[in-house]
Amino acid sequence: MQAVSAKNGFFSSSVRVFNPEHGLFTYDEESQLCYFNPNSFETSDQFFLVGVVIGLAIYNSTILDVALPPFAYRKLLAAAPISPVPSSAHPRPIMTYNLEDLAEWRPRLAAGLKQLLDYDGDVEETFGLDFVVPVDKYGTVLQVPLCPGGEWKPVTNANRREFVDCYVRYLLDHAVTRQFEPFKRGFYTVCGGTALSLFRPEEIELLVRGSATALDIDSLRAAAEYDNWGSKNPDGTEPVIGWFWDTFKSAKPSEQRKLLSFITGSDRIPAMGAALLPIKISCLGEDEERYPIARTCFNMLSLRRYGSQERLEHMLWTAVHESEGFGLK
């Protein structure tokens, strides 16, 4: 029960804090990724707690729907506290920022800066830019200098690379220092020590978000558990169980992920495989005009003994699609 409570708490926390309306993170519609909100009114304690939650999720092998860009995990590993004990693990990476990093989070802005770099004409005359970045602080646009005297330093063909480098570093680093520092401290409060240095950034992302590879429905089926069917393993004796797995396996990949999210709260498989995400299928009784019920904190799907596969599919997909955008049980 403690593990269930932990999962429920982690998932609820991640859904809440990564919602742009909460103000801790900003969301890009094109990339569908979040990053620290430099204009957040939240205290450093809030960002510290977010770091703690992500660290605890790794410790408890719990998947979170945390849509940070890949470079954020590289940034996090580069900020690891220096251990007094020499380690034979991967050397601590030196964090740099480039246009490709920005493209992960804000692809449209990155494309515009790339056009500036590739422009063949007179950059100063055509674009009329200075070494400043426009920052929208809740309706008020401020021009923040990217270097001392930046508001009087025009962007030219000769210095446009410097401008882009400063622009990218400001957005991904300097602008979010107040938010990132407590987040980092919270994370390493839980995940301190040398063990984490064994991992690469993409492996940390796997531990947090799970695998984005195609779902292995057969592995999920093999790890499944059952309750209230009259036998320990009704797969093979209860038609509705077979229909469910056939429906799951034959669905489009996007629909498979929606169904997995409906049941577990995440559309991904843990990095260590489906065995760490056992789906429990329980019986609600005989066929009635009632939809399946999912309880994400238990990874549980409750089904009735529907009379046909067509009826199961109708009731199941209606429940999945109607639940999108609503709260989770």
CATH 3.30.2160.10 fits 99-170, yes or no: yes
12 burial level (CB within 10 Å; 0-12, 13-18, 19+): middle
CATH of domain 217-323: 3.30.2410.10
In DSSP terms, 25 is beta-bridged to 36
CATH of domain 2-92+175-209: 3.90.1750.10
Greatest CA span in the chain, whole angstroms? 79
Determine contact, residues 244/234, Cβ cutoff 8 Å: no
pTM for this structure? 0.74
> In a structure prediction context, what are the per-residue pLDDT tens digits for the chain, which is 329 residues long?
344 444 445 555 555 666 666 789 999 999 989 999 999 988 899 999 999 989 988 888 777 878 899 999 999 999 988 766 555 555 666 799 999 999 999 999 999 999 999 999 999 999 999 999 999 887 789 999 999 999 999 999 999 999 999 999 999 999 999 999 999 999 999 987 777 777 888 889 888 888 777 889 999 999 999 999 998 889 999 999 999 999 999 999 889 999 998 998 888 887 777 777 899 999 999 988 899 999 988 899 999 999 999 999 999 999 999 876 544 33
Structural tokens at position 108: 């449209």
Active site residue 297: yes
The rounded distance, in Å, linking the Cα atoms of 127 and 154 is 10
Q: Which of 34, 166, 283, 297 is catalytic?
A: 297
Task: Provide the residue ranges of all domains of the chain, joining segments of one domain with +.
Answer: 2-92+175-209, 99-170, 217-323
Q: Please choose, from the candidates 101, 221, 215, the residue with its C-alpha nearest in 3D space to the C-alpha of residue 168.
A: 101
Distance set, CA 233 to CA 230, 278, 292 (Å): 9, 14, 20
Determine contact, residues 286/85, Cβ cutoff 8 Å: no
